[in-house]
Chain A
Amino acid sequence: MKEKYKWPVYGVLLGLVVSIISRYIMFKQAGFDISIGKMIGNPVSLWTRTLAPLVLGIVFFYIGVSRDRLIKLRRDTKEKNKELQKKMIEQSMQLGAELNRTIDELNRYTDQLDKIVNNIKAGVCVINRSFNIEEGFNKAFVDIFGNKDYLNSSILNTVFTMFDEEKKKEAVDYFEQCFMNTTASDSILSAANPMEEFNYLFLDGGSAVSKIIKMRVVRLKGKDTIFEKILLLFDDITVEREMEESIKEKEAEYDKKYGIIVSLLGNDREVTRQFITDLGHNIKDLGLSLKELKQNEENTKILDGIIGMVHSIKGEAFSLNFKALAEEASRFETFLKEQKGQVLDLEMNLEIVNFYEKINIEYGFLNKIIKELTVFIFGEDKEPLERNNLGNIKHKIEENVRKHISRDEGKQSAALLEKQLQIIKNRTAEEKDKRVILDFNSDIVEMDTEIYKPLKEALLHLVRNSIDHGIEPAEERKKSGKPELGRIKIMIKRADNGIIVEYTDDGKGFNVNRIKEKAVEKNIVNAGTVDKMGDLDIIKLIFKEGFSTNDSVDMISGMGVGMSVVKKNIIDTLKGKLSIKNKTERGIILKMSIPL
């Protein structure tokens, strides 16, 4: 029941109770006299008897109404509060959910960004207009350049640490263009990038590693059209570069190998075998001489010997078109010539050993290729005898090849000598653009290796010298009434107790006056002495070491070693005799007699 109704009822009921109590009191006072007079004469009784229930009822009604209102208000407020609370909770929950969603998205986004940035293999950083590195450089960036305080520090001091002032200025120049120049396209800017590839010294603990870094530039537009930031992408290309280098090296090696194979195919087999065998001995001898050179203070003689050996290697390698070896020997020879008359200190000795090693390496390389070729052609089986017939044939060929390449055969054929001389004649004539015929005649079929080797060397030098200095170009020969083709004759005859070798050419002969001048110039004789000398004696001066009528150092002869080798080999080594005839303008005749 509503308070509005409840409370008046309470009021009326209370009024009635008051009325009854007052009546009871009244009766008691009157001694329970219920006469009307007594009743009317009591004012209290009037109030209690009649008005109390009414007044109390009305009063209580108001109480009830107000209570009712209060209760309603309370209820309303409570409800409203509840609603509000509910709404608030709902709203906050919504807000929370939204917030969570946003945070999730944000996290996802950051994760993604992290993933993207960190998954970029390139090191990434962003620089602002003051060239300072901003937040957001990735792990790869730190991996490349190492742990440093990058944030807000200049890229010039953290990344371009190897740059000198000039290079730094260039970098600043370039970045300024990237920021300020709005008309330049990305392509022209990337083409102009002076830091496209640069070196970086990476300090890994105690050791420093030089890295090769590639840098790309991406300009980031700001709110306006100007570029606010630049994104830099770095790649460590050290390994790639190293690989490229090694590929290049390999290619160079293949080229060299190919060159040697082509030379081998173009050369006469016998001559090549002889050359390789000789080369092996020469290198051994050379090694021994170098040892002697180191221990001996009086080294002029030893040095001359070494120069002669290197000169021979150069000439022969050249004649067989083994270019790398020939060039190496040529460099060695030049160096040795420069050391003449100087005190050989440790450094020079080391240098000489270095050159020697290089020659040795070339020799090893040559041998390796020949072996590879042999294996390629004949297979690797060492004992194919038990196999089929083909295997037997292979084995026999292989055995033959090995026997020919192996040393110490004791005797060498004159035919081989002719082949070698013909080859050197052809090469030199081609090089000097001259036309020459070589007539070779020998009564002797074979000779001992001890004679063969120095003789061959002497003849090779003579042939080279004839073509280089003696025989004129075809035009010139025609003018002086000679046949256009130059002619060199070599006759080897058996004598009573040895061999006689006759060497002639039909060139312009020895120019006595020129030899005189040269000999004086080179301090081989003094001017006073040379005037008293006969022509033949003057000519003999060409056999002195250090004499050359041609100053140019070239691959053919040069350096004046040529003729001195002839003298050394024939007279010193073979204990023979050497005589010269000069047919001025008509050529030379050399007679060598070698005792057996």
Chain B
Amino acid sequence: MKILIVDDSLIIRKVLKNILKEKKVSESDMFDAPDGQAALEILNSHDIGLLLVDWNMPKLNGLELVKIVRKIEKYQSLPIIMITSEAAKYNVLEAVKAGVSDYIIKPVSGVTVLQKLKQYL
């Protein structure tokens, strides 16, 4: 399964990739993008099976990206996990309405990410 990580922080992308490696996800199945625009290009040219996306990003923010992705036919039931520091109730509801499947609160730690990803991998 191909996994796409979208985060403007290189470090977070690396951390998430390392966590995925622990789950025996091969390097060739991992994609990453620093912003929403770049992510859309990858989503269009590949069949992505899991999307990890940051909320706050330049150009196209995570929430907008998710709204666009949900409109793409093949991605209507794609598991989308939002990585966010916004844990307020109304923010989460906003994310749900946009089409987010699950969320991970920053700061990301290996244990919590793995726990969350278990059901999607």
Please indicate whether A and B come from the same complex rather than being unrelated chains.
Answer: yes
Are A189 and B96 within 8 A (Cβ)? Answer: yes
How many residues on the B side are at the interface (Cβ–Cβ under 8 A)?
21
Choose the segment among A178-186, A229-237, A445-453, A566-574 that binds chain B (4+ C-beta atoms closer than 8 Å).
A178-186
- Report whether A188 and B79 are in contact in the complex, using a CB–CB cutoff of 8 Å: no
- A188 and B77 contact, CB distance less than 8 A: no
- What is the CA–CA distance of A193 and B92 in the complex, to the nearest angstrom? 9
Please, how many angstroms separate the alpha-carbon atoms of A196 and B88 in the complex? 12
Question: Does chain B have a CB within 8 A of A131?
Answer: no
* CB under 8 Å from chain A, chain B span 63-96: 70, 76-80, 87, 89-90, 92-93, 95-96
List B contacts of A177 (CB < 8 A): 93, 96-97
Contact (A183, B77) CB under 8 Å given A188-B100, A188-B101: yes
* Chain A: minimal CB distance from B96 (Å): 5
* Known interface pairs A182-B77, A183-B99; A188-B89 also in contact (CB < 8 Å): no
What A residues does B97 contact at CB under 8 A?
173, 177, 181
Per-position 1/0 for B8-48, Cβ under 8 A of A? 00000000000000000000000000000000000000000
Interface size class of A (residues with CB under 8 A): 10 to 19
**A40 close to B (CB within 8 Å):** no
A167 to chain B, nearest CB (A): 12
> Is B55 interfacial (CB 8 A cutoff)?
no
| Residues from chain A with Cβ under 8 Å of B78 in the complex | 183
How distant is A197 from chain B, measured CB to nearest CB, in Å? 10
Is the Cβ of B100 less than 8 Å from the Cβ of A184?
Answer: yes
Q: Is the CB of A188 within 8 A of B90?
A: no
Contact at B93–A174, with CB atoms within 8 Å? yes
User: What residues of chain B lie closer than 8 Å to A184, measured between beta carbons?
Assistant: 96, 99-102
B96 touches A194 (CB 8 A): no
The residue in A182, A183, A193 that gathers the most chain B C-beta atoms within 10 A of its C-beta is A183
CB pair A194 B89 closer than 8 Å: yes
A181 touches B77 (CB 8 A): no
Asked if A185 contacts B93 (CB within 8 A), the reply is no
CA distance A406 to B101 in the complex (A): 71
Q: Is A187 at the interface (CB under 8 A from chain B)?
A: yes
Q: How far is the CA of A182 from the CA of B76 in the complex (A)?
A: 10
> Most chain-B Cβ atoms within 10 A of its Cβ — which of A173, A177, A181, A184?
A184
The answer on a CB contact under 8 Å between B102 and A185 is yes
**Contact of B101 with A183 in the complex, beta carbons under 8 Å:** yes
B100 / chain A contacts, CB cutoff of 8 Å: 184, 188
Q: Are B95 and A192 in contact (CB under 8 A)?
A: yes
Point out the residues of chain A lying under 8 angstroms from B79, CB to CB: 183
How distant is the Cα of A187 from the Cα of B102 in the complex, in angstroms? Answer: 7
A185 touches B89 (CB 8 A): no
A191 CB within 8 Å of chain B: yes
Question: Quick one: closest B residue to A178, CB to CB?
Answer: B96
A192–B99 CB distance below 8 A: no
Q: Is there contact, CB below 8 Å, between A192 and B77? A: no
A170 to B95, CA, bound (A): 14
User: What B residues does A174 contact at CB under 8 A?
Assistant: 93
1/0 contact string of B103-117 vs chain A (CB within 8 Å)? 100000000000010
**Cross-chain contact B101 with A192 (CB below 8 angstroms):** no
CB-CB < 8 A to A173: which residues of B? 93, 97
Per-residue B-contact encoding for A146-179, CB less than 8 Å = 1, 0 else:
0000000000000000000000001001100100
Whether A196 lies near B89 (C-beta < 8 A) is yes
CB distance from B66 to the nearest CB of A (A): 10
**In the complex, how many angstroms separate the beta carbon of A173 from the nearest chain B beta carbon?**
7
Q: Contact partner of B93 among A182, A183, A187, A194, CB < 8 A?
A: A194
Q: When the two chains form their complex, are residues B102 and A192 in contact, meaning their CB atoms are under 8 A apart?
A: no
Give the residue among A173, A185, A187, A194 with the most B Cβ atoms within 10 A: A185
Minimal beta-carbon separation of B70 from chain A (angstroms): 8
Residue of B nearest to A196 (CB): B89
Are B93 and A192 in contact (CB-based, < 8 A)?
yes
- When C-beta atoms are compared, the residue in chain A nearest to B79 turns out to be A183
The answer to whether B90 touches A194, judged by C-beta atoms less than 8 angstroms apart, is: yes
Chain B residues, CB < 8 A from A188: 92, 95-96, 100-103
Find chain B residues with CB under 8 A from A187 CB: 102-103, 116
| Those of A186-224 within 8 Å (CB) of chain B | 187-189, 191-194, 196
Q: Which residues of A contact B77 (CB under 8 A)?
A: 182-183
Distance (Å) between the CB of B82 and the closest chain A CB?
Answer: 8
CA distance A39 to B84 in the complex (A): 138
How long is the Cα–Cα vector from A209 to B70 in the complex, in angstroms?
46
Q: List residues of chain A with CB within 8 A of the CB of B103.
A: 187-188, 191
Interfacial chain A residues near B87, Cβ < 8 Å: 191
Within the complex, the shortest CB–CB distance from B110 to chain A, in Å, comes to 18
Cα distance A173–B98 in the bound complex, in angstroms? 13
Minimal Cβ-Cβ distance residue in A for B87: A191
Q: How far is the CA of A510 from the CA of B79 in the complex (A)?
A: 75
Let me know if A185 and B90 touch, CB within 8 A.
Answer: no
Closest 6 CB pairs of A and B: A192-B92, A192-B93, A185-B102, A191-B92, A184-B96, A183-B101
Other contacts beyond A183-B78, A183-B79, A185-B102: 12, CB < 8 A = A177-B93, A181-B96, A183-B101, A184-B102, A187-B103, A187-B116, A188-B92, A188-B96, A188-B102, A191-B103, A192-B92, A194-B89
Q: List 27 A-B contacts (CB under 8 A).
A: A170-B93, A173-B93, A173-B97, A174-B93, A177-B93, A177-B97, A181-B99, A182-B77, A183-B70, A183-B76, A183-B80, A184-B101, A184-B102, A185-B101, A185-B119, A187-B102, A187-B103, A188-B92, A188-B95, A188-B100, A188-B102, A189-B96, A191-B87, A191-B92, A193-B89, A194-B90, A194-B93
